[in-house]
Structure 1
Amino acid sequence: MPVTSIEKDLDALTMTIVADFPVPVSRLWTAYADPRQIEKFWGPPEYPATFTRHDVVAGGRSDYFMTGPDGSSHGGYWEFLDVVEGESFTVRDGFSNDDGTPNTDMPSMEMAFAFEEASQGSRLVTVTSFGSLEQLEQLIAMGMEEGTREAMGQIDDVLADLASFAAARSTEAQVLSETKVRVSRIIRGSVEQVWRAHHDAELMKRWLLGPDGWVMVTCDLADSVGDTFTQEWERAGGGDRFGFTGELLESTPPHREVTTESMIGMEGDPSINELTLTAVDGRTLLALVITYPSSEVRDIVLGTGMVDGMEASYARLERELVAV
């Protein structure tokens, strides 16, 4: 059990949790920065978490839900107030309604996470600050202390699973809901390099090609929110042209952007693509959450070999960055 102490200060309205781990600080930080890993331990064992957004950057946000044994869903969010990469972050933690908006009927709290070196490896000190004694007592009565112990007791298994954060791991897709899929890949390169690779047309034409044998013939980028983009490919030598178009909805360089995406010539509602880039141990975790119009569209797209094509493209991207 990694938790070594839990102290409640009723005068300061805080609860401090200290936990020790036999791994380097960088490994522990990655477990919290990578949505694929944090969702394996953030909820108690009987209430596993699913993160649909996880922007570990000041001004960023995380959205998640915990699924109970009876199938019930319980939403939560983090608003990142401060982030010092590899060392600490502070969030506003609260409950969410079914539509993702904050549940103002429930208390929110500020949580500060500090990652420190320790004699046996690393130490995590989490200080939760409550708005009032009533809030503190309410959340303790709801089982916050016991839930925290159970949740953190799962971290050891995640930290021992080195494959979960190996830089050589290939692109993977995880179904998050009926319509959401998260595609993830660790890229050898900085966040700034990977962001530029998604916003330099000539560079994109060299790596965003999918399987061998295709060329990108059109790469018109959206520079500002509200602009549209067009991307088209065809087989080397010509033929079988296809492409996508969409609109830039949000942009927070160099960490996050949101776009719509529709296949040219196809009717129907667009997909929504949420790209997040997170620095992890000198590399970049690329996470793309795709929201499809329906589960049927989701399954059709996944069945096309999309993930294999993305892996081929990201492998080319790495070669481009290594050559710089």
Structure 2
Amino acid sequence: MPVTDVTTDPEALTMTLTAEFAAPPERVWRAFTQPRELERFWGPPGWPATFTEFDLSVGGRAAYYMTSPRGERAPGAWEFLAIEEPHRFEVLDSFTDEHGDPVEGMPSMRTTYEFTAVDAGTRMTNVTYFTSGEALEQVVAMGAVEGSTMAINQLDRVLAGLREYAQGKGTRSEILDDTHVRITRLIEGPRDLVWRAHTEPELMKRWLLGPDGWRMSVCEIDPTPGGRYRYAWEPVGETEGEGFGFDGETVLAEPPRRAVTTEHMTGTDFPATLNDMILDEEDGATLIVLVIEYPDAQTRDAVLATGMTDGMEASYARLETVLAG
């Protein structure tokens, strides 16, 4: 993981994050100063950012908001105080309201980003300066250490490029914490088609089958927020097993980039999960990033133990075949 250290200093009133990347400073600089690239990693899993304004000049402003899986927005803004391309920039970082004004009672912080060439590539040193111990404690209590670590750890796939980062590695599962798992899979095909394959029943029934020997017998979906869906599978031929299904609700839809749904096993009292899917396209390939929120670690581990990742890989491999045709 890129982040090597995060420390807080109550006496100096600072929080310092250090990370190392296998890319030169010029490449890392571009990732931090191009809004479309920033959107691919800024914000921890489940809270991706959308930049609505970006004026990279001294006195200029960048404005963004992060959106939770349930649609809550957390806006913020930078005012650029200093720019020394490609090695350093400094901003005044503020929490803002929906109109872009600083939120009363929330701190504004001077923050520096420095990019230094090292043998492995680039070392980034990010220092946030607070005006009081109370402001430092407030931001840390909000999860700044964990959130910034998870956000910056997503930068590797941006710097490497999606194919180099994911191609040939199949479907991967990564435990983020007690209740969250991240699934990634690169699909050869444009994002618009991958989105359609997740929202159009006739396409879904051709690939969302899991291991060989099963067919999708029910596929009803309303991909608009508040809409319901229902899926069911049954064995065919000599395949052993009992049919099963899932049902749920579309919570958030931002076509063709993001969809958030609940998922419940039909006919059971098992708790539902929250599934947050983001599609990221580069050069005709699409990276599926699915963050699943479980009610607890026990449920998370029980689901992973069923061979879920292998079943998803079988389906995603079939999806590539469908898109190629």
TM-score, reference length from structure 2: 0.60
> For 1:247-273, what per-residue CA distance to the aligned partner results, in whole angstroms no more than 9, with x for missing partners?
111111111111111001210431111
Give the Cα–Cα distance (whole angstroms) in 1 for the partners of residues 200 and 65 of structure 2: 36
> For 1:136-180, what per-residue CA distance to the aligned partner results, in whole angstroms no more than 9, with x for missing partners?
x9734xxx337776962699x945799861423211111112111
Closer/same/farther in 2, CA of residues 25 and 146 from structure 1, 3 Å limit: closer
| Aligned residue runs from structure 1 range 63-102, under 5 A | 79-81=50-52, 91-92=63-64, 102=74
Q: Which residue of 1 aligns with 2:293?
A: 291
Q: Which residue of 2 aligns with 1:273?
A: 275
- Within the candidate set 112, 115, 123, 1:145 is matched to 112
Counterpart amino acid of residue 198 in structure 2: H
| Aligned residue runs from structure 1 range 16-31, under 5 A | 21-22=23-24
Could you tell me whether the CA contact under 8 Å between 1:33 and 1:278 is conserved in 2?
no
Closer/same/farther in 2, CA of residues 308 and 221 from structure 1, 3 Å limit: same
Closer/same/farther in 2, CA of residues 318 and 163 from structure 1, 3 Å limit: closer
Give the Cα–Cα distance (whole angstroms) in 2 for the partners of residues 318 and 191 of structure 1: 12
The answer for unaligned runs of 5 or more in structure 1 is: 1-18, 39-49, 56-60, 62-78, 84-89, 113-117
Closer/same/farther in 2, CA of residues 297 and 318 from structure 1, 3 Å limit: same
Closer/same/farther in 2, CA of residues 126 and 207 from structure 1, 3 Å limit: farther
Q: Which residue of 2 aligns with 1:316?
A: 318
Closer/same/farther in 2, CA of residues 168 and 125 from structure 1, 3 Å limit: farther
Aligned-residue RMSD, C-alpha: 4.3
Q: Which residue of 2 aligns with 1:227?
A: 227
Aligned: 1:240 with 2:242: yes
Identical counterparts, % of pairs: 36
The secondary structure found in structure 1 opposite 2:109 is helix
The answer for unaligned runs of 5 or more in structure 2 is: 1-20, 55-61, 95-101, 117-121, 126-151
Give the Cα–Cα distance (whole angstroms) in 2 for the partners of residues 111 and 187 of structure 1: 38
Q: Which residue of 1 aligns with 2:78?
A: 110
Counterpart amino acid of residue 217 in structure 2: V
Give the Cα–Cα distance (whole angstroms) in 2 for the partners of residues 261 and 246 of structure 1: 5
Give the Cα–Cα distance (whole angstroms) in 2 for the partners of residues 319 and 204 of structure 1: 13
| Aligned residue runs from structure 1 range 99-248, under 5 A | 102=74, 108-110=76-78, 128=91, 139-140=109-110, 144-145=111-112, 152=124, 158=156, 159=159, 165-237=165-237, 240-248=242-250
Counterpart amino acid of residue 261 in structure 1: E
Could you tell me whether the CA contact under 8 Å between 1:255 and 1:276 is conserved in 2?
yes
- Higher mean C-alpha displacement, 274-283 vs 187-196: 274-283
Could you tell me whether the CA contact under 8 Å between 1:34 and 1:285 is conserved in 2?
no
- Within the candidate set 230, 255, 262, 1:260 is matched to 262
Could you tell me whether the CA contact under 8 Å between 1:246 and 1:260 is conserved in 2?
yes
- Paired residue total: 240
Give the Cα–Cα distance (whole angstroms) in 1 for the partners of residues 310 and 112 of structure 2: 43
Closer/same/farther in 2, CA of residues 259 and 93 from structure 1, 3 Å limit: closer
> For 1:283-321, what per-residue CA distance to the aligned partner results, in whole angstroms no more than 9, with x for missing partners?
111111111121111110011110111111111111111
Deviation at 1:216, TM superposition (A): 0.8
The secondary structure found in structure 1 opposite 2:170 is coil
Counterpart amino acid of residue 265 in structure 2: M
TM-score, reference length from structure 1: 0.60
Deviation at 1:281, TM superposition (A): 3.3
